[in-house]
Amino acid sequence: MDTQIFKPDEVTAAAALLKAGQLVAFPTETVYGLGADATNEHAVKQVYAAKGRPSDNPLIVTVTGPDMVTQYTEPLSATAKQLMQHFWPGSLTLILNLRPGTLSKAVTGGLSTAAFRNPQNQTTLNLIQAAGVPIVGPSANTSGKPSPTLAEHVYHDLKGKIAGIVDDGPAAVGVESTILDLTADVPTILRPGAVTEEDLAAVIGTVRSNHHKVGATEVPKAPGMKYKHYAPNAQVYIVDQVTDWPAALAWAQTLDGPVGAMALDDVLAANSLPANVEAFSLGQNVASASHRLFDGLRHFDLESPVKTILTQGFAATGLGAAYMNRLNKSAGQTHFQK
């Protein structure tokens, strides 16, 4: 199948494909998503096939706002309403109890809950409006690979497997949404994102966070957390301290072949790079680093292949919690040690 590229003003044509049961990738402020009509079980099943995604890993339901959510859920709690008011549209996904029989098992993986997300991208809100139905929206990458922050990344992974891609340029945030479980006793963060624990606590008070505590034998609450994720072909090493870079680069120099180095501009400027090391700038701060992380990992897979990538670590607070969560998974928890 030919994969058509749509511009933001061509969403009517893209919506027609969705209504016909086809797959269309769409932009969001976090990463690109892979869309299918969430009410069409056959279409939703194709999403798993296109991504190579395990079928027990449920999908996010992407909506235009709270009204679309309540067609499928129990009446919203005061907490849910408050959160939607403050953070929607935006990078917060909410896990809510479903009304039985409303969404297919293909969407929910058989759970009695579902994840709802109202992205902050007008093109995609127009697309869903035009389709008239919520659309499922896992990240539009091959399962296990870094999430796509550019339409080109989607095209690389899924060309020939999906009907279209709506291209609205680079995703602003670069890491996926915060997932908050509102079906637990205390609202619980299952995946950190740009809406931070501090942001949530300021609006609803106590928030729990369980994304660091998933042990090998435990069943994770967000099923996706148990799978290998964000992994480039190269081995990633996290360089935790800025002061470790001279030793890390000296080690890189002893390796055979090219090595990638992903770090902030001031780190790159302060260190002289060995001839076999190629730099990829993460910009000035943790926000630009989050924006560029997946693009950098893909760069060293595709455009400039290496076997080893050194990547700067940050303190795991605020947006740094989201950045380190993704980096730790892509590195398989491997840290550079002096």
Find the binder of ligand TXA among 31, 165, 293, 306 (CB under 6 A). Answer: 31
**Quick one: which of 54, 314, 269 has its CA closest to 175?**
314
Sequence-separated (6 or more) residues with CB below 8 Å from residue 236: 297, 309, 311, 327, 330, 331, 332, 334
* Options 22, 124, 139, 183; binder of Mg ion; rule CB under 5 A: 139
Which region among 114-122, 132-140, 162-170, 305-313 touches Mg ion (by CB under 5 A)? 132-140
Cα–Cα distance between 311 and 16 in angstroms, integer? 42
Does 177 engage in binding with Mg ion (CB under 5 A)? no
Exactly one of 166, 179, 264, 293 binds ligand TXA (CB under 6 A); that residue is: 179
- Comparing every residue's Cβ against ligand TXA, the nearest one is 224
- Contact window for Mg ion (CB under 5 A) among 45-53, 95-103, 135-143, 274-282: 135-143
Cβ contacts of 190 within 8 Å, gap of 6 or more: 95, 179, 180, 181, 210, 211, 220, 221, 222, 225
- For the bound state, the minimum distance from the C-beta of residue 177 to Mg ion, rounded and expressed in Å, comes to 10
Q: Which is nearer to Mg ion, 57 or 288 (CB)?
A: 57
Q: Does 30 bind ligand TXA (CB under 6 A)?
A: yes
Burial readout 52-77 (b: 16 or more C-beta within 10 A, e: otherwise): ebeeebbbbbbbbebebbbebbeebe
Task: Please tell me whether residue 176 binds ligand TXA under the rule CB under 6 A.
Answer: yes
Residues that bind Mg ion (CB under 5 A): 139
Residues that bind ligand TXA (CB under 6 A): 28, 30-31, 33, 57-60, 93, 95, 111, 113-115, 117, 119, 137-139, 176-177, 179, 190, 221-225
